[in-house]
Amino acid sequence: MLAPKYTRIVAGAGPAGVAAVGALLHFRPNDKIAWVDPQFSGGRLSKYYRDVSSNTKVKLFLTYAEALKPFKEVIESTPKPNAITALRDLEQEKGCKLSFAADAVEMLGKGLRRHQNVDTILGQVNSAEWKDNAWTLKPSSDNSTNSPSSLTAKSIVLCTGSSPLEVPLPTKKPTLINLDPALDRKQLRDHLPTGKPTTIGIVGTSHSAVVIIMNLVDLLRSTHPHIKIKWFVRSDLLYAEEQPDGRIVRDNTGLKQAAADFAREHLEPGKLEASPILGKVLTRVHCPDVTDPKMAPELDKCDYIIQAIGYKRDPLPHLTVNGKKMQNVGWDPETGRLLNQNDQDSKIPQAYGAGIAFPRRVTDPLGTEESAVGMWKFMKHLKEGLVPALLDEKTA
């Protein structure tokens, strides 16, 4: 068999995919990388979440952007002002609109695409086969004339992302609004009728749920004064708390920044009832399980429902190893190595995953295990765990 054309193939160009390409070049600048994505425009962060207030301090977006030598080279070669100088001009200890982070990811990704050792392929990876100590991937593309029919490499890194989770509800009356448009004020406004009473149900106590309530408050004050909100919750709100040593309790599960400030002021018991903004328009509904048929009467009172209950991994390429299909793919949360869960978590050779679909597992100061999700956390995982493990693997 001919030697693989590429050393690595990276699928995905969101924050984790950009970080993966940068980290691989940081450790092995002469490796040849094929980078596959259908758009190369910053992933879901840039497409859907620009209007969202971050739960991350600005300084951590900058730490991500300045973490790798290839990133620094892109920053130095990009005319100013640019997305990085815009981040530097913001207050570093506070959050910001995710548009600032998205612009930085797009700028870094655009710079990496110009790297002499990176070939970019506009398309989607549908399948990947391991045979003769190499991966062969078959990308699909609307522009098939300019895309290779297959790519070969020693190893693959999947940064293919996740999408909002939705569960079946015991009602068909309300119209479902997906989490993505609900997090954008303009799109949410366009989904809702004006001039008549409208009840929106929000399921969950996550950062996203609070952001949606904040968005609805903006609409209440402007174009949609007749909105009512039913908030379906199964637990109290949780907040991230920074310790004197700098560690953070509930770093990945607790509310932070603007969402935390809003929740403390308006959504806590006692504060909600007295809130001049939400006291008369938001009703809190105890909801241990939103799929329980017993919840149908309350859900039926809603005209629209938005589920803010987390994310699920997007479909992976069909993986085959020496003729055997990998039906149930897991991952090592420390190294990102992909595992065959149908074979006692045996290692899938030279295959790794990063980003929200394959997060690192961490333990907070109280001993609670969490999935580390966020741009800087993806970067740390790649630099400290995934890339070193990949380079240590025998055929790397």
* Cβ burial, residue 77 (10 Å; 0-12/13-18/19+): exposed
Q: Say if CB 10 and CB 36 are below 8 A apart.
A: yes
Tens digits of residue pLDDT in 208-217: 999 999 999 9
Distance in angstroms (rounded) separating the CA atoms of residues 155 and 351: 6
If 0-12 CB within 10 Å is exposed, 13-18 middle and 19+ buried, where does residue 386 land? buried
pLDDT tens per residue, the chain (396 residues)?
A: 556 799 999 999 999 999 999 999 999 999 999 999 999 999 999 999 999 999 999 999 999 999 999 999 999 999 999 999 999 999 999 999 999 999 999 999 999 999 999 999 999 999 999 999 999 998 886 655 466 778 999 999 999 999 999 999 999 889 999 999 999 999 999 999 998 999 999 999 999 999 999 999 999 999 999 999 999 999 999 999 988 888 899 999 999 999 999 999 999 999 999 999 899 999 999 999 999 999 999 999 999 999 999 999 999 999 999 999 999 999 999 999 999 998 888 999 999 999 999 999 999 888 989 999 999 999 999 999 999 999 988 754
Tell me the per-residue pLDDT of 330-340, one tens digit each, with 9 for 90 and over. Answer: 999 999 999 99
Query: Comparing C-alpha atoms, which of 124, 202, 196 is closest to residue 159?
Result: 124
Decide the pairing of beta strands 134-140 and 227-233. unpaired
Q: Domains in the chain and their CATH numbers?
A: 6-163+312-392 (3.50.50.60), 166-309 (3.50.50)
- What is the C-alpha to C-alpha distance for residues 349 and 231, in angstroms, rounded to an integer? 46
Identify whether the C-beta of residue 257 lies closer than 8 Å to the C-beta of residue 57: yes
Distance, CA of 143 to CA of 147 (rounded, Å): 7
CA angle 270, 271, 276 (to 5 degrees): 125
